[in-house]
Amino acid sequence: MGKIELYKNTLLNGTMVSLRKIRKNDLKSCIKWFRDPDVAKFLSNSVKNMTEERELEWFNFINSSGCDIVFAIISKCDGQYIGNCGLHKIDWKEKRCEFGIFIGNKKYWNKGYGTDTLKTVIDFAFFSLGLEKIKLLVYEYNHRAIKVYENCGFAPVDKLKNYHLYNNIYWDTYVMEKNAII
Task: Give whichever of 129 and 148 is closer to ligand COA, judged by the CB atom.
Answer: 148
Task: Give whichever of 32 and 147 is closer to ligand COA, judged by the CB atom.
Answer: 147
- Distance of closest approach, residue 164 Cβ to ligand COA, in angstroms: 10
- Distance of closest approach, residue 6 Cβ to ligand COA, in angstroms: 26
- The contact set with ligand COA (CB under 6 A) reads 39, 42, 83, 101-103, 109-115, 138, 142-145, 147-148, 151
- Distance (Å, whole) CA 121 – CA 19: 9
Q: Which residue is nearest to ligand COA (CB)?
A: 114
- Distance of closest approach, residue 39 Cβ to ligand COA, in angstroms: 5
Beta strand segments in the chain, E: 12-13, 17-21, 69-75, 81-91, 96-103, 133-139, 155-166, 169-179
Task: Give whichever of 6 and 166 is closer to ligand COA, judged by the CB atom.
Answer: 166
- Distance (Å, whole) CA 177 – CA 50: 29
Task: Give whichever of 5 and 123 is closer to ligand COA, judged by the CB atom.
Answer: 123
Task: Give whichever of 105 and 126 is closer to ligand COA, judged by the CB atom.
Answer: 105
Contact 14, 152 (CB under 8 A): no
Contact 116, 12 (CB under 8 A): no
Q: How far is CA 170 from the centre of its chain?
A: 23
- Distance of closest approach, residue 93 Cβ to ligand COA, in angstroms: 26
Contact 34, 43 (CB under 8 A): yes
- Distance of closest approach, residue 163 Cβ to ligand COA, in angstroms: 13
